Amino acid sequence: DTAVSQTPKYLVTQMGNDKSIKCEQNLGHDTMYWYKQDSKKFLKIMFSYNNKELIINETVPNRFSPKSPDKAHLNLHINSLELGDSAVYFCASSQQQGAYGYTFGSGTRLTVV
């Protein structure tokens, strides 16, 4: 069983489209995250949810909207996709305020053409 699973792994779409990335964790963790990794491999946090409540919302365009239906799921919806949104998006989860680190999903490579 995959601990943190993201779908899809690859996503190619045209500018202006709306897309979603789904994430599920089966570790029983209470906190989930979305990170963006750009072409230079820099990882930056976007959002964090703790028990379905939004606790971190970095400076991210409001075209990005996370949704957590329950503490095991955290989805990311992106409206009006732009070329600059092309990146790898990682979902992660943690327990105990991240004391044992994050467990990452395998990432979703989003390419906007």
Query: Which residues of the chain form contacts with another protein (CB under 8 A)?
Result: 31, 40-45, 48, 50, 55-56, 88, 90, 92, 94, 97-104, 106-107, 109
Q: Nearest-CA neighbor of 110 among 47, 3, 37, 34?
A: 37
Question: Between residues 12 and 55, which has the closer beta carbon with respect to another protein?
Answer: 55
Question: Between residues 15 and 55, which has the closer beta carbon with respect to another protein?
Answer: 55
- CB 7 to another protein: min, Å: 15
- CB 63 to another protein: min, Å: 22
- CB 3 to another protein: min, Å: 11
Whole-number Å distance between alpha carbons of 17 and 90:
20
List, as one string, the DSSP characters of 17-74: --EEEEEEE-S--SEEEEEEE-TT--EEEEEEEETTEEEEE-S--TTEEEEEEETTEE
Question: Between residues 57 and 65, which has the closer beta carbon with respect to another protein?
Answer: 57
